[in-house]
Structure 1
Amino acid sequence: MNVSLVSIVIPFKNTVHYLKDCLDSILAQTYQNWEVIAINDHSTDNSLVLVNSYAEKDNRIKVFANTGQGIIPALQLAYSKSSGNFITRMDSDDIMQPNRLKVMVESLLQYGKGNVSVGQVRYFSDRGISDGYSRYEKWLNGLTELGTNYAEIYKECVIPSPCWMVYREDFDICGGFQSNRYPEDYDLTFRFYQHNLKIIPCNEVLLLWRDYDTRTSRTHEHYAQNYFLDIKLHYFLHLDYNEKRPLVIWGAGFKGKKIAKGLIEKNIDFFWLCDNPKKIDKKIYGQELHHFSKLESLTNPQSLITVANTSAQSDIKEYLKSLHHQQALDYFFFC
């Protein structure tokens, strides 16, 4: 194992239009001790031809065919072929800023093992960025600047899949790419959290994140909303749920119903709160909905907040603060 080598794992499938920008951005890195492990996930365009042309010119780029189907088997194969002391992932349609690897390696050397180096991101697109992605970028970068990403881990994935780096030893402790749970980037983030890897704050944009209609996260079923809710509930019950405390769901929309159904299937009792007069005192899945003031009669509850409206979230947060409830201990935003 090369102690200063960065292994960059890149699964690719039918991204020939973007691969040149991706690979050129790696070649232009100010930190040059890297290897690319590129896995062709059964491309039907000229992606493989393009990557092979780069590999022929630079022996740091190694190309293999996915022996399975999909991103997770591709990542697993890539990691098995890697030899660096530092591990990072890159997506084949994105662009590294020239100092991305240098900043991340230096951060890990400074802070040592037990840490995750992350970077801020900037979305770009030929058609412009939607308000939703713009808000996500601002939210994510705000967390990354302070290194407080885990504080809101149940909202969305708080570590961008193409912009993290860890020591190989820490990666192995967290189970690496061994998990078969989708979304795979969110699952890995939860395992970093589970094993208490600290987030190193970063105030620099290190990745340009491309958005387009056929991007995998937009089109593949594994990145649909129900998968995100399943993974949130799975890890909450394993990592933060205290069965000795009353469990509370806020909100009876799609997400609230999905979480409630998951708890019912696991035979976990909970209280269900909302502020909609049409729903209060009614039953969904046999579970009665209560006015949110019900919370004050419960002893030391834990709240899962599935209300999506940002104004309502702020109101709920202020209300919980007035009860001296702490975020990431007594209440968790699930959206």
Structure 2
Amino acid sequence: MVHPLVSIIVPFKDTAPYLEECLNSVLAQSYPHWEMIAVNDHSKDNSLAIVTEFAKQDPRIKVYPNTGKGVIQALQTAYSHSSGTFITRMDSDDIMTPDRLQVMTNLLLEHGEEHLAVGQVKYFSDRGISDGYDRYEKWLNGLTEKGTNYSEIYKECVIPSPCWMAYRTDFEACDGFNPHRYPEDYDLTFRFYEKGLRVIPCDKTLLYWRDYDQRTSRTSEHYAQNYFLDIKLHYFLKLDHDPQRPLVVWGAGFKGKKIAQSLTEKNIEFSWICDNPKKIGKEIYGHILLSFEQLDEIENPQSIITVANEEAQKEIRAFFKLRTMGNILDYFFFC
């Protein structure tokens, strides 16, 4: 029976309070054929001492210093020391379920190359989970259960960064951890999408995702809203934009203005739709804001939707359905 080696890439920095729980969850895996490549990103607490002690007890755990600075270079450093057939990432403050590696390796062996194994996730916190994280968890798991993650790729990151696994060959075809673009997990998700790695449906919770105030996604400027918008627009223009079709931006809030500004700077023509009577008819970035009714005057458009209100989004989807226009073809929700 084939037992491929799984390389678990684990960058860590100042996560001492959570490391033992994380490392013990890896040691408890029912699938034993793994190596953990842990890279210390200049920790100032006793994180390095904790990981080093675990490495003394189990040779499958290997510890290296970051050759650069920051999570991307820590990931690059870790990957350079890995040798597994399968590659997965784990964050040093999260917890694997005991069957995570077994489930994911089985899925990849069953479906073969050009597939991506993804597990469902469960947020946890000492103070309880916010409504926003609860909705994100349910939305993400709903996609993962069906394997339809890419259908909403322009809304949020649809692949949980600490809960995916891929063949090494496929991972390298996607350029691995090489690009220096934040948020690095969202960028990698778009590259999985670009290379056509098919998401394998999964109905099992395989990761407990910890939320706390010092979590990197909460504290680092690299995970601010404008970084997400830059990535969305970058890949939309690269992968899904048809320059032969008129482009329309829906919404004139923060995200709509940011997208409109970026398109203007790139000299890309677009029409701008808005439902705010106070803004309709005004000129911003050299574009007159139009009412929704005027969209029917634009022939065969592609639309970027930056309207965040959920009820408004339902109405917008109904608008497109009535006109037999398709998601990730004719319209793209950016929020």
| TM-score relative to the length of structure 2 | 0.99
Name 2:239's counterpart in structure 1: 239
Name 1:30's counterpart in structure 2: 30
Paired residue type of 1:230:
D
Name 2:72's counterpart in structure 1: 72
**Structure 2 CA distance for aligned equivalents of residues 286 and 301 of structure 1:** 20
Residue ranges of structure 2 left out of the alignment (5+ in a row): none
Contact 1:8–1:36 (8 Å) recurs in 2: yes
Over the matched positions of the two proteins, sequence identity in percent amounts to 67
- CA displacement, residues 52-99 of structure 1 (integer Å, 9 cap, x when unaligned): 000000000000000100000000010000000000000000000011
Contact 2:121–2:206 (8 Å) recurs in 1: yes
Name 1:19's counterpart in structure 2: 19
**Structure 2 CA distance for aligned equivalents of residues 314 and 279 of structure 1:** 22
Equivalent residue runs for 1:221-240 within 5 Å:
221-240=221-240
Residues matched between the structures, number: 334
Name 2:141's counterpart in structure 1: 141
Instruction: List structure 1 segments (4+ residues) > 3 angstroms apart after TM superposition.
Output: none
**Structure 2 CA distance for aligned equivalents of residues 240 and 263 of structure 1:** 15
Residue 25 of structure 1: how far off its partner (Å): 0.3
Name 1:7's counterpart in structure 2: 7
Paired residue type of 2:91:
D
- CA displacement, residues 297-320 of structure 1 (integer Å, 9 cap, x when unaligned): 111100000001111111111111
**Structure 2 CA distance for aligned equivalents of residues 155 and 306 of structure 1:** 9
Residue 275 of structure 1: how far off its partner (Å): 1.0
Equivalent residue runs for 1:182-197 within 5 Å:
182-197=182-197
In the alignment, structure 1 residue 81 sits paired with structure 2 residue 84: no
Equivalent residue runs for 1:103-118 within 5 Å:
103-118=103-118
**Structure 1 CA distance for aligned equivalents of residues 295 and 119 of structure 2:** 38
Contact 1:3–1:85 (8 Å) recurs in 2: no
Residue 281 of structure 1: how far off its partner (Å): 0.8
Residue ranges of structure 1 left out of the alignment (5+ in a row): none
- CA displacement, residues 166-225 of structure 1 (integer Å, 9 cap, x when unaligned): 000000100000010000000000000000000000000100000000000000000000
Paired residue type of 1:154:
Y
Paired residue type of 1:297:
E
Equivalent residue runs for 1:1-335 within 5 Å:
4-335=4-335
Residue 293 of structure 1: how far off its partner (Å): 1.5
Is the partner of 2:188 in helix, strand or coil? helix
**Structure 1 CA distance for aligned equivalents of residues 313 and 215 of structure 2:** 30
| TM-score relative to the length of structure 1 | 0.99
Contact 1:3–1:84 (8 Å) recurs in 2: no
**Structure 1 CA distance for aligned equivalents of residues 20 and 293 of structure 2:** 57
Contact 1:115–1:197 (8 Å) recurs in 2: yes
Contact 1:121–1:141 (8 Å) recurs in 2: yes
Paired residue type of 1:4:
P
Residue 3 of structure 1: how far off its partner (Å): 6.7
Residue 286 of structure 1: how far off its partner (Å): 1.7
**Structure 1 CA distance for aligned equivalents of residues 182 and 260 of structure 2:** 21
Paired residue type of 1:331:
Y
C-alpha RMSD of the superposition: 0.8
Contact 1:145–1:201 (8 Å) recurs in 2: yes
Contact 2:307–2:313 (8 Å) recurs in 1: yes
- CA displacement, residues 277-335 of structure 1 (integer Å, 9 cap, x when unaligned): 11111111121100112211111100000001111111111111111111110000000
**Structure 2 CA distance for aligned equivalents of residues 289 and 321 of structure 1:** 24
